[in-house]
Amino acid sequence: MNILHMIFTIEKGGAETYLFNILDNMAKDINFFVICDHEGGNHGKVKEKCNNIDIIKMRSPFDFKAAKNIADYCKANNIDIIQTHFLRENYIAVLSKIFNPKVKIIWTAHLMAENDKKIKFFNKLFSRFVDKIICVSHAVKNSLKKEGISSEKLKVIYNGVDTDYYKPIENCTLKKELGLNKNTLVLTTVSRFNKEKGHSFLIEGVKELKKHMEDFKLLLVGSGEEERFIKQKVENYGLEESVLFLGYREDILEILSITDIYVSPSKNEAISFSILEALSSEKVVVATKVGGVPEIFEKGDMGILIPYGEPKKLAEAIIYLHDNNQVYEKKEANSRKVIIENFSLDKMIKETLSLYKELLNK
């Protein structure tokens, strides 16, 4: 079985994590190929995981030259299935069927986008020529159904995390290295700095929390276009002693090991790898009730959901968990079990492999 993954560029986000998980853990008798438009910031990592990587320029979603090049590539490499990850690649893959009609196509819907009428029209039109659309949550599936895409095309396969890797660890010295006191309440958020991830709202919540609590530290892990703005906001509010900017880090497991409460303040989220990783590491989570996030917490009592944009609710949730040890410990005890049963990498891989086989047997 030969599978081609098309992704515009390899950066540091959820779609890339998804792709890496597929490449690392799928059955060994599957040959994977990856095509990008250009080498992104994390291209070296995909090179480590896949030998068949090529660059084909994709100048627009309607790039017929790219579509012809993709079709030729698929014929030359006997590609059975193309799996795409974003809109541009989605459309180009469909157009490639003009030149190579036998290939099967899977779209992967990683995001919940508020599309305009033009994109909704083309999504509905092009989806007719797609064999299946993987939705990473029921919220994503419902949003695509509202665009007029047939429910028969849509299949929910939740993102999964490696529970053998993301697990509680002891004897981590990171707290000391960061200069944190033993009893300091550690809050953590891991995400790119962009508006959708809700950092501005988070800082408003921290400002509110500071009125009621002194001994806490918020660890912000990641980088992005909003980072400078958020740093300025922290400075304007006089929160420099309460917020640590750690930048992009590879030692997420160690950071989670010293975390008391993981906070996900997103404005919109199809489903969150970072929440799943935190829960798998046996952490209690405070998260905004947006997109597919509530579907995680429907599986068990592992944290507190709050409305986006209400700083007082965010502060109240953190204070409640801090002040009620029995409640905290109960949620903590549930978290890893729920992830193993519902959001494990093994489960995601098995369901994806089953879909590959189903399409090839049609």
Q: What is the pLDDT of residues 324-358, one digit of tens each?
A: 999 999 999 999 999 999 999 999 999 999 999 99
How confident is the model at residue 112, as a pLDDT?
83
Contacts of 278 (CB under 8 A, 6+ apart): 188, 190, 256, 259, 262, 285, 335
How confident is the model at residue 44, as a pLDDT?
87
List Cα–Cα distances, 77 to 51, 103, 260, in angstroms.
13, 12, 49
Helices 273-280 and 14-25 pack at an angle, to 10 degrees, of: 60
Side-chain half-sphere CA neighbours of 286 within 13 A: 29
Which of 36, 85, 94 is CA-nearest to residue 64? 94
Contacts of 245 (CB under 8 A, 6+ apart): 220, 227, 231
pLDDT digits (tens, 9 = 90+) for 197-230: 999 999 999 999 999 998 999 999 999 999 999 9
Which two structure tokens, joined as six digits, stand for 328?
């905290």
For residue 76, the one-letter residue type is: A
Which of 305, 309, 341 is CA-nearest to residue 321? 305
Report the pLDDT averaged over residues 293-313: 96
Which two structure tokens, joined as six digits, stand for 319?
């204070």
pLDDT digits (tens, 9 = 90+) for 40-95: 888 988 888 888 999 999 999 999 999 999 999 999 999 999 999 999 999 999 99
Q: In whole angstroms, what is the distance from residue 236 CA to residue 57 CA?
A: 44
Report the pLDDT averaged over residues 116-126: 92
Which two structure tokens, joined as six digits, stand for 77?
């490499």
How confident is the model at residue 171, as a pLDDT?
67
Report the pLDDT averaged over residues 91-120: 93
Mean model confidence pLDDT for the chain: 93
Read off φ and ψ for residue 221, nearest 5 degrees.
-110, 125
Q: In whole angstroms, what is the distance from residue 95 CA to residue 320 CA?
A: 53
Read off φ and ψ for residue 81, nearest 5 degrees.
-135, 135
8-12, 53-57, 111-115, 355-359: which has the minimum mean pLDDT? Answer: 111-115
Q: In whole angstroms, what is the distance from residue 355 CA to residue 359 CA?
A: 6
For residue 84, the one-letter residue type is: T
Side-chain half-sphere CA neighbours of 49 within 13 A: 21
Confidence category of residue 27, pLDDT binned at 50, 70, 90: confident
Name the pTM for this structure: 0.90
Confidence category of residue 278, pLDDT binned at 50, 70, 90: very high
Please check whether residue 73 is in contact with residue 98, taking contact to mean a CB–CB distance below 8 angstroms: no
